[in-house]
Amino acid sequence: AQSVTQLGSHVSVSEGALVLLRCNYSSSVPPYLFWYVQYPNQGLQLLLKYTTGATLVKGINGFEAEFKKSETSFHLTKPSAHMSDAAEYFCAVRDLFGNEKLTFGTGTRLTIIP
């Protein structure tokens, strides 16, 4: 079964610093990959997705992620953190065909230090 591993349940960065949230997937066939953000007491919002094509994916709010097949990774980055980025971030995976369910990682809580 598809799975994703998020390294680091909590990450703290200073405002203006680089944000790097790590995600590795387990599949021999590149799947669909996603990053979702969850603000306190809210639902999940799609930040970006990798389906096919370009391996560097740009999302909303200045986030981007790079799909690296050789490393089975899909890390999320943002060059300069903003206070409003404080939230929980989930990496998710979906098979290319068949079952459309999303399998989520355990999440990374991002704290921004003023």
Partner 1 sequence: DSGVTQTPKHLITATGQRVTLRCSPRSGDLSVYWYQQSLDQGLQFLIQYYNGEERAKGNILERFSAQQFPDLHSELNLSSLELGDSALYFCASSVGGGGYYNEQFFGPGTRLTVL
Q: Which residues of this chain interact with partner 1, rule CB under 8 A?
A: 32, 36, 42-46, 49, 51, 90, 94, 97-107
Nearer to partner 1, 66 or 88 (CB): 88
CB atoms inside a 10 Å sphere around CB 70: 5
CB contact set of 98 (below 8 Å; sequence gap of 6+): none
Nearer of residues 14 and 42 to partner 1, judged by Cβ:
42
Q: How far is the CB of 73 from partner 1 (least distance, A)?
A: 20
Q: Output helix, strand, coil percentages for the chain, rounded to the nearest 5.
A: 10, 55, 40
Closest contact distance (angstroms) between CB of 104 and partner 1 is 4
- The CB-of-41 to partner 1 minimum distance in angstroms stands at 9
CA-based torsion, 23, 9, 45, 5: positive or negative: positive
Q: What's the rounded Cα separation, in Å, for the pair 42 and 51?
A: 26
Q: How far is the CB of 38 from partner 1 (least distance, A)?
A: 9
Give the residue with the Cβ less far from partner 1, 13 or 47. 47
Largest CA distance in the chain: 45
Q: Residue 72 gets which letter from DSSP?
A: T
Nearer to partner 1, 28 or 41 (CB): 41
